[in-house]
Amino acid sequence: MKTSLSSLARRFLTAALAFGFAASPTHTVAADLPYALKAGQPYAGTTIKILSVVTPQFDGLRLRDPEFTELTGIKTQWTFIPFASLQEKVAAVGVAADGSYDVVNYLDSWGPPNAHWLVPIDERLEADGISMDRYPPAFAQSASFEGRTLGFPLRAHAQLLFYRTDVLKALAMAPPKSWDDVIAIGQAIRAKNVDIEPIALYYHNDGNRQALFIWLNFLWAAGADVFDANHCPIWASEAGLKASEDYVGLHTVQKVTNPASLSFVEQDARQSFNQGKSAMIPVWWWAYSSMTNPKSSVLNKSQVAFTGMPTYQGKAVTYAISMPFSISKYSNNQDAAWEFMKWLSNPQLEKRNATEREVGGKKIVNNVVTHIANLQDEDVNKANDRIQQAAWDSLKESSIMPQIAQWPEVADIIAGAIAKAAGGGNTRALMSAAAKRATKVLRRAGHCR
């Protein structure tokens, strides 16, 4: 039976109030509409077109769009693009000033080079009483550039270490807390001559700079950083070079990695773990569902567990990542797109999307939430083996890649140096040379003065 608009609105309003969201004192919202949606359906008949990465999380949201249409009269049309092709597509839309998409989804590190055509939403946030404080700081920061908020981090990830419980049990070893523990487990696996590689990493220099994902953990934990306040490269400090050596050394010196890690990107490493060929992997928390899905993994839930990222030199500082949604400057439907963004980003919808396993007759398995409230929510954690709490713990000390327009070019330089070092090159020489090369790039752009 079709739900009436008034009953649907009341249900959403009740949920919104339960999460503590209400209109700001300076902004009046119609009493029968939640999330500061405008009353009277002023944009009824508009179709919002969304460019998005392929993922069960967003498929689950798409299947719930009829609820949004009933509230606002606005229709939606999604275009899903595989992640490997999304960067090229987003760049092409920006270069062509293409207004075909009203809302676009992108990796946070692509935001600065495309910021000129993404609409800042700070004034809209203030008018509708929405605070970015509802997200962990790293997630909120990832959706901003030069002090302006560009969108909502609706897909965002914390890093965790996943491991084979049966392998560690056979070794009588506890889950690793430090990278030294990882090395010890790896050496024990080698000594037992077990038919499995200790850990799958990803050193390959690909267009998404995945070789940096774990390197940043080492760098930051060592007290080093990528840039100084003037955006001058400082990763070639003594602390930074030692951290880089130890990261690469997992493969070249300690030899506890899957030998194929040199050619692995993240997806390859995940597949190695899912196929039972590697005993450990540091990777984004969303991967857990694929590890225990019989369609994508040979493992069952009793064989897979997770813990926080290992410490380095006694400290853990993790890299966080997000894929924000933003409104295109070239859209002719920016006001209607903002209504969609408000609805799409509401915490109650996100909670349902992480706890309900069927939407519109289709099975959806998704554990990704980005609101602080949902990361700590008991129902969300109960439905997902408490992985959200582990992610929240990981995010308490975390950061993101630098947010400058030249970062993709600089990141490619670093990733190339890491790949060569993992292939047997001199880590110190390669990382020092990379810093000098990056300095020239940054000075041409007006940085590092």
> How many other C-beta atoms can be found within 10 angstroms of the C-beta atom of residue 165?
15
Cα dihedral across residues 134, 136, 138, 142: positive or negative: negative
Mean pLDDT of 237-263: 98
Mean pLDDT of 320-329: 97
Mean pLDDT of 42-46: 98
Element (H, E) at 419: helix 407-422
Which residue type does 184 have? A
Least Cα distance to 374 among 394, 401, 392, 398 occurs for 392
Q: CA–CA separation, 430 vs 18, rounded Å?
A: 54
Percent of the chain scored above 90 by pLDDT? 88
What is the DSSP secondary-structure string of 53-90? E--HHHHHHHTTHHHHHHHH--EEEEEEE-HHHHHHHH
Instruction: Output the six-digit token pair for 8.
Output: 């649907």
Least Cα distance to 380 among 400, 366, 361, 394 occurs for 366
Q: Name 256's Cβ contacts closer than 8 Å, sequence gap at least 6.
A: 182, 183, 185, 186, 187, 189, 190, 198, 199, 250
Orientation of helix 407-422 relative to helix 427-444, angle to 10°: 170
The model's confidence at residue 194, banded by pLDDT at 50, 70 and 90, is confident
Checking if the pLDDT of 285 tops 90, the result is yes
Checking if the pLDDT of 6 tops 60, the result is no
Cβ atoms of 132 and 372 within 8 Å: the answer is: no
Checking if the pLDDT of 406 tops 70, the result is yes
* Average pLDDT, rounded, for the chain: 92
The model's confidence at residue 32, banded by pLDDT at 50, 70 and 90, is low
pLDDT at 5: 43
Measured between its terminal Cα atoms, the distance across the chain in Å is 66
Q: CA–CA separation, 328 vs 94, rounded Å?
A: 9
- Model confidence pTM above 0.85: yes
Max CA pair span of the chain: 70
Mean pLDDT of 370-384: 97
CATH number of 5-157+321-398: 3.40.190.10
Cβ atoms of 37 and 21 within 8 Å: the answer is: no
- The alpha-helical segments, DSSP class H, found in 197-329 are 212-221, 238-252, 266-274, 288-291
pLDDT at 21: 44
Residue 162 main-chain phi, psi, to 5 deg: -100, 145
Residue with tokens 């292939």: 423
Q: CA–CA separation, 380 vs 256, rounded Å?
A: 35
Checking if the pLDDT of 28 tops 60, the result is no
Q: CA–CA separation, 83 vs 155, rounded Å?
A: 13
Residue 369's Cβ-side half-sphere holds a number of Cα atoms within 13 Å equal to 33
> How many other C-beta atoms can be found within 10 angstroms of the C-beta atom of residue 348?
21
DSSP letter assigned to residue 357: -
Q: CA–CA separation, 266 vs 261, rounded Å?
A: 9
Q: Where in the chain is the domain with CATH 3.40.190.10?
A: 5-157+321-398, 159-319+406-444
Instruction: Output the six-digit token pair for 213.
Output: 């994902």
Q: CA–CA separation, 120 vs 148, rounded Å?
A: 6
Instruction: Output the six-digit token pair for 418.
Output: 């890491």
Q: What is the pLDDT of residues 87-103, one digit of tens each?
A: 999 999 999 999 999 99
Q: CA–CA separation, 369 vs 157, rounded Å?
A: 9
Mean pLDDT of 13-27: 43
159-319+406-444 belongs to which homologous superfamily?
Periplasmic binding protein-like II (3.40.190.10)
> How many other C-beta atoms can be found within 10 angstroms of the C-beta atom of residue 212?
21
pLDDT at 22: 42
Residue with tokens 């989804």: 105
Mean pLDDT of 122-131: 97
pLDDT at 449: 87
Mean pLDDT of 131-158: 96
> How many other C-beta atoms can be found within 10 angstroms of the C-beta atom of residue 27?
12
Mean pLDDT of 378-387: 96
Q: What is the pLDDT of residues 385-395, one digit of tens each?
A: 999 999 999 99
